[in-house]
Structure 1
Amino acid sequence: MKFSEWEPVYVSICSDMGYDPSCDDMSARMLLALTQNSDVRDEDSIAPLIKDTVTVLGASSGLEGDILSKGVEGTVIVAGSAVGRAMAAGVRPDIVVTDLDGDIGPQIDACNSGVLTLVLAHGDNAELVGKYIPLMRGPLVPTTQGRPFGILQNYGGFTDGDRAVCLAKEFGAVRIRLLGFDFDDPYPKEGSDPEVKRRKLSWARRIIKDVAGETATI
């Protein structure tokens, strides 16, 4: 997705959620600085990983049940906070999409074991960027939800789950299977306001519908 296509959605999200784009930019600049000596990758590393079918794993309470009943196919992209649960269920990600919240240990372990990890910097996670990026020694794609600059990419999307869908579509997926997605009932997360999370998931639902349409199925 070109930034010109994403920008109107981003502006609407900032207005609705009360976000200051300058804070996103500040966090993104921190991420840029901290990844100067990292194993930074780009489209050439992403493209070979995206197959025609992509399974995106979200972090809803139904994740384990979905994995058991539906299984995974094709490329497996996992939202950051679902990485530990996915791996405990026997599923290794091909790609992780994260803003560094949730259960961070498995995300760091996955990155350091060679899993390509797209890390998002935004206004609310600058502290996490500063704390965890130095620990992530594997392949990274630094991303921003604002205007991309330097080595930072922006493939569209707001939450980890819908950013994973945007990524899959950007690189040619023709079928996207969504496991562990519940747009109405957020999975409990320490320090997270359930009502704010519901508003975020409302945006995620809209973005997935607009970007993927019938390509994405739950």
Structure 2
Amino acid sequence: MSWIVDKEWWSKTYTELITKTIDLNFEKDQQATDLLSTLLEGRKDSIGFEEMKNLFKEFNESIVFGCGPNLVSDLEFLRENKKLENRLLISADGATTVLINHDILPHIIVTDLDGLIADIAWASLKGSIIVIHAHGDNIDGISKFVPMFRGKVIGSTQVEPRPHVYNFGGFTDGDRSVFLSYSLGTSRVILAGFDLNGEPHSCPGKLVPFNKRIKKIKLEIAKILLKQLEEKGVKLFNVQGEPYVL
């Protein structure tokens, strides 16, 4: 079992920021984590954190793809300016559908299983590492969808880690992807398809109904967490290479 994020800091953040802002149930979060751990146990394609870190050790910069309204224009800019090369590509859940529709296969997909599973499973088969996040609202999805992935998989949680399930920090798939990038040693992160300061936007690659109020709360939490990561030395940029303004 591994805390990748600082345990004391994250436990305080979870209890004093996240659970006081949005209705979460620690016991259900832990139940989901335990289930995911059980499903990953014994799988030949389960990958450990150190193995994943070693796979991507040559990268010193990453691009994290969110599913904001600017994702397609950001993708076009990155491709035209050859910025997709030699960078670790991390897709946040529903952004995966947009990426593969533009012939981009991310190195890593971070998902809590409410994106289009067929697209994520296809990317898994083609070589993307799938970081499956467990929380109290996706217990059924964990049981149903985890067996569908045929490539390398690793688990994540926002509560106590378990075998094969790590706590990297982060709350939404987007900011969790940035936490993961930091954990892997890439503290320079380009945010593509992020619109944290605009109105909440539905993602074409999502399975679940869009709830504007809940989405807005989650984006505010994501901003706070990313600001705290910046204090730890993470440098965030937009696709033009300018500092990302949170």
SS class of match (1:18): coil
1:108 Cα deviation (Å)? 1.1
Partner residue, 1:188:
202
In 2, the alpha carbon distance for the partners of 1:200 and 1:15 equals: 12
Matches of residues 61-210 of structure 1 in structure 2 within 5 Å? 61-71=69-79, 72-73=84-85, 74-183=87-196, 184-189=198-203, 190-210=208-228
In 1, the alpha carbon distance for the partners of 2:183 and 2:34 equals: 24
Does the 8 Å contact 1:165/1:212 carry over to 2? no
Partner residue, 1:37:
42
SS class of match (1:22): helix
| Count of aligned positions | 218
Indicate the structure (1 or 2) with the bigger Cα radius of gyration: 2
In 2, the alpha carbon distance for the partners of 1:43 and 1:21 equals: 24
SS class of match (2:130): strand
In 1, the alpha carbon distance for the partners of 2:166 and 2:235 equals: 23
SS class of match (1:24): helix
SS class of match (2:136): coil
1:77 Cα deviation (Å)? 0.4
1:44 Cα deviation (Å)? 2.6
Structure 1 residue 60 corresponds to structure 2 residue 64? no
1:80 Cα deviation (Å)? 1.1
1:217 Cα deviation (Å)? 1.5
1:45 Cα deviation (Å)? 2.7
Partner residue, 2:243:
none
1:113 Cα deviation (Å)? 2.1
Query: Residue by residue, what CA displacement relative to the aligned partner does 1:113-143 show, whole Å, maximum 9, x if unpaired?
Result: 2211110010111111111001112111111
Query: Residue by residue, what CA displacement relative to the aligned partner does 1:58-89 show, whole Å, maximum 9, x if unpaired?
Result: 01121010011234351000001110101112
Stretches of structure 1 that go unaligned for 5 or more consecutive residues are none
Query: Residue by residue, what CA displacement relative to the aligned partner does 1:16-55 show, whole Å, maximum 9, x if unpaired?
Result: 1011111101111111122223211112332132511100
Matched to 2:169, the amino acid is: G
How many percent of aligned residue pairs carry the same amino acid? 28
In 1, the alpha carbon distance for the partners of 2:174 and 2:201 equals: 13
SS class of match (1:40): coil
Partner residue, 2:237:
217
Does the 8 Å contact 2:155/2:166 carry over to 1? yes
Does the 8 Å contact 2:175/2:222 carry over to 1? yes
SS class of match (1:178): strand
Does the 8 Å contact 1:58/1:161 carry over to 2? yes
Answer 1 or 2: which has greater helix percent: 1
Does the 8 Å contact 2:107/2:127 carry over to 1? no
Partner residue, 1:15:
20
Matched to 1:62, the amino acid is: N
